[in-house]
Amino acid sequence: MSSLLEIRDIHVTFHGRRGTEKALRGVDMDLAPGESLAVVGESGSGKTTLLRAALGLVPPARGNVRLFGKDLQGLKRDQRIGILRRCGLMPQDPYGAVPPTLSVREAVMEPLLLVNGFGAREACARKAEALLREWGLPDETLWGARVSSSLSGGQRQRVCGARAMALDPQLFLADEPTSMQDASLRGEIVSVLESRVSSGMGLVLVTHDLLLARRAARTGLVLYRGVAVEKAPTADLLDNPLHPYTAALARALPRLGRAILPPSESRACEGLGCPYADRCEKAGPECVEAPSLKEVSPGRFVACHKA
Amino acid sequence: MIALENLSVRYRSGDREVAALSGVSLALPSGRVTGLVGESGSGKTTLVMAILGLLPPEARIAGHILLDGVDVVGIGDSALDRFRWTRVALVPQGSQNAFNPVLSIGEQIAEPIRVHLGLSRQEAGRRTWRLLDEVGLGKRMAGRFPHELSGGQRQRAALAMALSCDPAFLLADEPTTALDVIIQAEIVELLRRTVRERKMGMAVVTHDLPLASGLCETICVLDGGRLVETLPAGDLAGNARHPRTRALVKALLEMEQARP
């Protein structure tokens, strides 16, 4: 099947007042229609940058990105827009993502009107309402309200989801899509994503929560300091992690009836090739060499000399 | 240490009255960690703000809030100041606007020490350094400004500020919101260790039931302004009785399931 997204050896570097920050250091990622991939890691691991790079929103310092088989860099503006319209991005911060003066219904209608023309207002409104229902906002009295005034964070986040799905994207990129939801609603959002994936949408889900990753995506890619350290079916990442960092993520996760275990503290050690060596309880002399992501059993990849 | 008796809080909104808390009675014993758990709108934040006398003026309070046996409902700010900081202190959400953006972290931790304990600037400064060490930040953070700290560091600073006047009880409001699981686990460990070493009591307000179950001994479940169930944390998964608690647990267990 043709590929929706193909990222090869991508490097992204940010230049700031405090010097340069290598946000991504050579990551590969692939996604086909009907596949779901969770990108997992802590704050600063490069998850969101990878998502943004996938859509060409940050330029790579090295490597390349192909969306629907095309390299965005070489395309004319119209062609690029054509491809980006087949993608939906649900950003992490719902407060900055929707124009605050729009009503809830208008926020979801906006992308539809831009594509279908303002003559199709009625049809766009009906479609927006269907999307709002799909995203767990069936209360019609809310649809006329301004996004900025009367919505909770969780409601805004669902508006963002509906808006990102307005054009029935073939590729959906969701950045912590349940972070502001009460537990009772998290499952609903996962169901929306699930049903779309089962009808062929490709999903990239960014999260620090391995439980959400396991629930909503089949494959997981674990990032640490801009490097992919493990790739495996999400169920294995949680229940049988191979990389020590993945194991630390699993132990730190709050779960009913289990202790929350903090990771080991970082030790000062310079010049090690493995990015996780300073926090790793298993680190040894061989970790001076940076490990590469290797397939250790079918479908399981890990970058660790000790795994 | 803290006891609520039949506490109700109502807000006036336009010409309607909204009940934020209805007849809540519960005890927050010293030396124990209690979780106050509920979804948005359950009344958990109102409860904490009521204990600290920080509700907006239009809130109407009925019932009793006993701090060390003294009913503090309606006693006024100056009388409440005998309790705030020195007996009961708030650990605010470090991620939000807990800090003044134009003052250094050190100045903000030293302020309650000088105001409530009457220490000199120098003595307050030394105490601030000790507190910054205790929460794992170190003295060098005293001169930093809030925006220079990461989310986890700000939450540690918020704890240092709460500890500044050596309180007997901490009220922690969503202490790990907006932190990733790794930093969250570190903050949980820090809170647990601090409460144990200082022999304090703590109430943790959170919407996150798994977090509460990992951090607290007792869980109080709030729903729609009512206390619906109090149970040992270990009973959450299998022995919850109230339908609301069971529904919350069921939603979590569904997330525990692998993809079909």
Among all residues of chain A, which has the CA nearest to that of B152? A43
The whole-angstrom separation of Cα B214 and Cα B237 is 12
At residue A96, the pLDDT reads 82
Give the domain CATH number at B131: 3.40.50.300
Query: Which of the residues B189, B250, B255 would you substitute to probe the A interface, choosing the one with the greatest number of A C-beta atoms within 10 Å?
Result: B255
Cβ distance B214 to A258 less than 8 Å, yes or no, reads: yes
Residue whose C-alpha is closest to residue A53's, from A273, A249, A168, A206: A206
Cβ distance A215 to B184 less than 8 Å, yes or no, reads: no
Residue whose C-alpha is closest to residue A236's, from A165, A167, A300: A300
Q: Is A263 on the interface with B (CB under 8 A)?
A: yes
The whole-angstrom separation of Cα B109 and Cα A175 is 35
Q: Is B184 on the interface with A (CB under 8 A)?
A: yes
Give the number of domains in chain B.
1
Give chain B positions within 8 Å (CB) of A186. Answer: 251, 255
Cβ distance A186 to B211 less than 8 Å, yes or no, reads: no
Give chain A positions within 8 Å (CB) of B182. Answer: 42, 208, 248-249, 252, 262-263
At residue A100, the pLDDT reads 82
Cβ distance B213 to A256 less than 8 Å, yes or no, reads: yes
Give chain B positions within 8 Å (CB) of A251. Answer: 185
Contact A260, A252 (CB under 8 A): yes
Residue whose C-alpha is closest to residue A255's, from B183, B102, B212, B97: B212
Q: In Å, how far is A250's CA from the nearest CA of chain B? A: 9
Give chain B positions within 8 Å (CB) of A263. Answer: 182, 185-186
> pLDDT tens digits for A3-26?
999 999 999 999 987 788 899 999
Task: Mention every residue, 6+ apart, whose C-beta is less than 8 A from residue A81.
Answer: none
Cβ distance A215 to B214 less than 8 Å, yes or no, reads: no
Give chain B positions within 8 Å (CB) of A249. Answer: 181-182
At residue B177, the pLDDT reads 83
Residue of A218, A254, A262 with shortest CB distance to B189 = A262
At A269, is the pLDDT very low, low, confident or very high (cuts 50, 70, 90)? Answer: low
At residue A270, the pLDDT reads 56
Could you state, in order of their start, the residue ranges of all structural domains in chain A? 5-86+169-302, 96-168
Give chain A positions within 8 Å (CB) of B249. Answer: 256
> pLDDT tens digits for A53-80?
999 999 999 999 999 999 988 899 999 9
Rounded mean pLDDT, A187-216: 95
Cβ distance B248 to A252 less than 8 Å, yes or no, reads: no
H/E run at residue A13: strand A5-16
> pLDDT tens digits for B147-202?
999 889 999 999 999 999 999 999 999 999 878 899 999 999 999 999 999 999 99
Question: Positive or negative, the Cα torsion across A289, A290, A292, A293?
Answer: positive
Structure tokens at A139: 């209360």
What do you get for the CA distance between the two ends of chain A, in Å? 32
Residue of A182, A183, A209 with shortest CB distance to B181 = A209
pLDDT of A282 higher than 80: yes
Structure tokens at A20: 């340069």
Residue B150 CA from chain centroid, whole number? 20
Query: Which of the residues A39, A43, A234, A261 would you substitute to probe the B interface, choosing the one with the greatest number of B C-beta atoms within 10 Å?
Result: A43
The mean-pLDDT minimum among A268-272, A281-285, B48-52, B197-201 falls in A268-272
Q: Is B14 on the interface with A (CB under 8 A)?
A: no
The whole-angstrom separation of Cα A56 and Cα A78 is 14
Alpha helices in A65-200 (DSSP H): 77-84, 94-97, 104-116, 121-134, 140-143, 147-150, 153-164, 183-198
H/E run at residue A63: strand A62-67
Hey, what CATH class is A5-86+169-302 in? alpha beta
Ranges of chain B whose pLDDT falls below 50 = none
* Chain A contacts in chain B segment 199-238 (CB below 8 A): 207-211, 213-215, 234, 236-237
Cβ distance A217 to B254 less than 8 Å, yes or no, reads: no
Contact A144, A102 (CB under 8 A): no
CA dist A235 to A246, A258, A261, Å?
12, 18, 20
> pLDDT tens digits for A101-136?
899 999 999 999 999 998 899 999 999 999 999 999
At residue A24, the pLDDT reads 96
Rounded mean pLDDT, A184-197: 92
ipTM: 0.84
| A211 φ/ψ angles, rounded to the nearest 5 degrees | -70, -45
Cβ distance B188 to A260 less than 8 Å, yes or no, reads: yes
Q: Which residue has the tokens 């209805």?
A: B22
Looking at the DSSP assignment, which residues form a beta bridge with residue B205? B36, B173
Question: Residue B141, SS3?
Answer: helix
Q: Is B138 on the interface with A (CB under 8 A)?
A: no
Residue of A257, A261, A262 with shortest CB distance to B237 = A257
Range of the domain at B11: 2-256
Structure tokens at B154: 């700000």
Give chain A positions within 8 Å (CB) of B44. Answer: none
